[in-house]
Amino acid sequence: LLVALADNIMVGELGAAPLAAVSLGNALIFIALSIGIGFSFAITPLVAEADAKDDSEKVKSVFHLGFLLCLVLGILLTLLMFLCEPILYMLDQPKEVVELAIPYMRWVALSLIPLMMFQAIKQFVDGLSKTMYSMIASIVANVINVLLNYLFIYGKFGFPRLEVEGAAIGTFISRIVMVMIVLLLLLSRKQFKKYFI
């Protein structure tokens, strides 16, 4: 939600049509995101239950299967968003807004894959009552998203001026970085390494 808010605020500087395009794209993305995150919530109580019984093998099994489920869901939801593009033309929006929204939605749809990977890891560590790691990754990723938005939307410091599409590329990159950060944080702690084997 913070990513979408940052996109709206920063794209809003470009005018009404770009802002409408981002809002339109995010409307469909939010539906897919709600479905994916809803499924991922099942990981936390299962991990917590196994951890309470000191069953590390069960914790690992839930984590691996949960991660796989989220990865597959991320891919399926991305494909669904691509298939939903014609719906944008049926929403009685100006053609200019729809044409700006489609490339934005494509990039943000692709970012659902790393986001769902992160969501699986987040729910796993939440089940172990170790919420700090995913929180750090989320905060850093949001800061990176704002910086990338500034570079790609407005074309600063030699970067191409991509406007609406630039906001989506920033989101895509920041979500990949978010997964990398949380993995690095967890793999640097001995207590988590056994779950990644």
Q: pTM for this one?
A: 0.89
**CB < 8 Å & 24+ apart, contacts of 17-23:** 17/94, 17/96, 17/97, 17/100, 18/100, 18/163, 18/164, 20/93, 20/94, 20/97, 20/101, 21/97, 21/98, 21/100, 21/101, 21/104, 21/164, 22/101, 22/104, 22/164, 22/167
Model confidence at 116, pLDDT cuts 50, 70, 90, reads very high
User: What mean pLDDT value characterizes the chain?
Assistant: 90
Q: Which residue has the higher pLDDT, 13 or 1?
A: 13
Q: Give me the pLDDT at residue 186, please.
A: 94
Mean pLDDT value across residues 158-182: 91
Query: Phi/psi of residue 140, each to 5°?
Result: -60, -40
Q: How much is the pLDDT for 177? A: 96
- pLDDT per position as a tens digit, 119-166: 999 999 999 999 899 999 999 999 999 999 889 988 888 888 888 888
Residue 2 confidence (pLDDT): 67
CA 126 to chain centre: 17
